[in-house]
């Protein structure tokens, strides 16, 4: 499951991106991976572990909603139903 978002800056700089995706681990848990930065450059990465898919999806939706409130727009969604 992935969500890719972008925000276009007004000053001609490269667009900023925010990428969220879920990864299942080997012991049945899930990791929410967040990556953000400027398009075409290395970004920052943060990982957060969850015991269940439902908890990980809920966290993913919260982060998505926080970024939408900051002006990001969803560009791509894969493997996840809409939670609007």
Query: What residues does each domain of the chain span?
Result: 2-78
What pTM, to 2 d.p., does this model score? 0.85
Distance CA 4, CA 72 (A): 10
Instruction: Yes or no: say if 33 and 20 are a contact pair by the CB < 8 Å rule.
Output: yes
Mean pLDDT estimate for the chain: 91
Is the domain spanning 2-78 CATH 2.20.140.10? The answer is yes
Structure confidence at residue 80 as a pLDDT band (50, 70, 90): low
List helix spans (H) across the chain: 53-69
Distance CA 20, CA 47 (A): 10
Q: What is the pLDDT of residues 23-57, one digit of tens each?
A: 999 988 999 999 999 988 889 999 999 999 999 99
């Amino acid at each position: 499951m992935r969500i890719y978002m972008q925000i276009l800056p007004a000053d001609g700089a490269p667009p900023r991106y925010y990428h969220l995706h879920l990864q299942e681990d080997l012991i049945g848990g899930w990791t929410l991976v967040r990556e953000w930065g400027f398009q075409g450059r290395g970004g920052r990465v943060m990982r957060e572990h969850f015991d269940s898919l439902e908890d990980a999806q809920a966290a993913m939706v919260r982060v998505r909603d926080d970024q939408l409130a900051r002006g990001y727009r969803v560009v791509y969604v894969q493997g996840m139903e809409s939670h609007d």
